[in-house]
Amino acid sequence: MHKLSEQNYIHQISIDCVIFGYHDKQLKVLIPKLHFNGDFWALPSGFVNQDEDIDNAAERILQDRTGIKNIYLEQFYIFGKANRNSVDFINRLIDLNIDLVGKNINIQKEYDWFTTRFISVGYYALVDFAKVIPQKTELDESIEWYNINDLPPMIMDHNEIILKALETLRKNLDEKLTAFNLLPETFTMKEIQELYETIFDRTFVRTNFQKKILEFNVLERLEKKFTGAKNKAPYLYKLK
């Protein structure tokens, strides 16, 4: 595992990733808890190497945290307020000698650039929940999925970043048909509708919803799903 301080990163630019998954009819976000004294949750984040495209940096970070490749991800906003680094968080970084992976690391010496102001590029990712194996970094105590309606209190503006990501996800959902990235390879019409209802936090009329989805003309109908009840079994679909 690389130390942050050993990399040739661009200073003062970070990448924050909002990783959305869908499970048990809940929209979830993958969030690490930091390895500090006290309760500190922060988005999966990282930095950009001098010779690396920012999109590639985001892909690398996402792959590191989820264990999967070829993730759907999209840059959605830059967070650039001058005061977005909370004083409390920076003080903790500076004051604490954090026991990282069993070694005492002097955060002030080795991570000095880490405590300056950062402008953060927000990316959101849509992943198949079942395929993700959440990965900790040296800074993390744990990493867990949290329901979007029941997020922990997060450092800096990270709660705001999640809200902006959700807003963008909703806005782009129809236009870019991205929602299917949250589902397994095959799914029923009911499962699509439940996903949309979860993301938009509202209900849709079944017939209208089905008509609208089919009009996008992106789905291929497969065999019926095996449910035991032959006549009522729903069709499975997949993306064309």
**Residues at the interface with its own copies (CB under 8 A):** 10-13, 48, 50-55, 75, 77-78, 80-82, 117, 119, 121
**152 CB-contact burial (10 Å; exposed 0-12 / middle 13-18 / buried 19+):** middle
Closest approach of Cβ 10 to its own copies, in Å?
5
Q: Give whichever of 59 and 128 is closer to its own copies, judged by the CB atom.
A: 59
The number of beta carbons lying within 10 Å of the beta carbon of residue 39 is 10
Closest approach of Cβ 48 to its own copies, in Å?
7
Q: Give whichever of 14 and 198 is closer to its own copies, judged by the CB atom.
A: 14
Closest approach of Cβ 15 to its own copies, in Å?
10
Inter-residue contact 42 to 32 (CB < 8 Å): yes
Closest approach of Cβ 71 to its own copies, in Å?
18
Q: Give whichever of 11 and 190 is closer to its own copies, judged by the CB atom.
A: 11
Residue 64 is which amino acid? D
**Strand pairing report for 219-224 and 72-79:** unpaired
Q: Give whichever of 16 and 140 is closer to its own copies, judged by the CB atom.
A: 16
User: How does DSSP assign 47-87, residue by residue?
Assistant: EEETTS-HHHHHHHHHHHHHS-SS-EEEEEEEE--TT-S-H
Would you give the DSSP letter of residue 234? Answer: P
Number of separate helices (H) and strands (E) present in the chain: 6, 11
Q: Give whichever of 151 and 163 is closer to its own copies, judged by the CB atom.
A: 163
Closest approach of Cβ 158 to its own copies, in Å?
18
